[in-house]
Every structure is written in C-alpha cells, then in structure tokens.
Amino acid sequence: MLRSQIREELFKIIFRIPFAGEEGMEEQISYALEELQGKSEDNIQYIHDKAQSIIEHVAELDEKIAANCEGWNLSRIGKAEIAIMRIAIYEMIYEEDVPNKVAINEAVELSKQYCDEEAKGFVNAVLGKAEKSLE
C-alpha cells in the first residue's frame, strides 16, 4: 500500500473515535482491519500500531489543534477535519521520517476527498500554524 492509502485507512479508523469513544476503539480498529484482508501483514500491523498510538495521544493532539484554531472551538469543527488533523499533527510530532510539509499536504488531500470545499483551506491553515509552533 502507498503511504497515502495507509493514511486514508487511518483516517477511516480515527474518524470513529467520537462515535465509539476511546474505550471502544480497539474493536473499531479490528473491524477496519478486517476490511483490509489481502493486504500485506506489515501494512495491517503498521496501521494498527499507528492508530493505537494516535488514540493514546488524542488529548495532546486535540490540544495542538485547539491551540492553532483562532476563534474556533473543537466542538464547532467537523469530525472529519479533526480526524485528518490528528493524523497530520501526530506525524509532525512523532514521525521524523515524514516531513511536515508532506503530512500537511496529505491532510489537505484527504480533506478534499472527505470534507466540504472550505475545509482544505482551514486544515491547511491550522496545520501550518501548528507546524510553526512545533519549531
């Protein structure tokens, strides 16, 4: 699988957090990974491990999102946008092999696919501010 495909599968998992709660996410991860049967075990394990790690850091990631959303409360932001930004900020903080610009670009691409037209600019702006705050 390409990294962009892996991110898309991660998005589908992380998007479920508000609906399943953090305590129900292991089951949700299992459901999502069942749909990936036929993919390499390495990719499936990578998606599982990364999803688990994002879930473990969700409070920190949400804090970073909130700190970079001027005038926006997290409850006013779409669930898809939050899921996308959680993945990107996680990559910017914890994955040294993923350049920040790549994490941001991939997030914008996901927002084009799963969100409304204005979301891509919003996601890009928030992640750009977050990137600067991480320097």
| pLDDT tens-place string over residues 75-111 | 899 999 999 999 999 999 999 999 999 999 999 999 9
Q: Which pLDDT score is estimated for 99? A: 95
* CATH number of domain containing 124: 1.10.940.10
Token pair, residue 2, equals 């390409």
What's the pLDDT tens digit per position in 19-44? 998 888 989 999 999 888 788 999 99
- Domain that includes residue 62, residue range: 3-134
Q: Which pLDDT score is estimated for 106? A: 97
Cβ atoms of 54 and 26 within 8 Å: the answer is: no
Q: Please tell me whether residue 37 adopts helix, strand or coil conformation.
A: strand
Q: Which pLDDT score is estimated for 135? A: 78
- CA nearest 126: which of 59, 53, 77? 77
Cβ atoms of 40 and 1 within 8 Å: the answer is: yes
Q: Is 80 exceeded by the pLDDT of residue 18?
A: yes
For the chain, the domain total comes to 1
pLDDT band at residue 2 using 50, 70 and 90 as cut-offs? confident
Q: Write the DSSP symbol of residue 75.
A: G
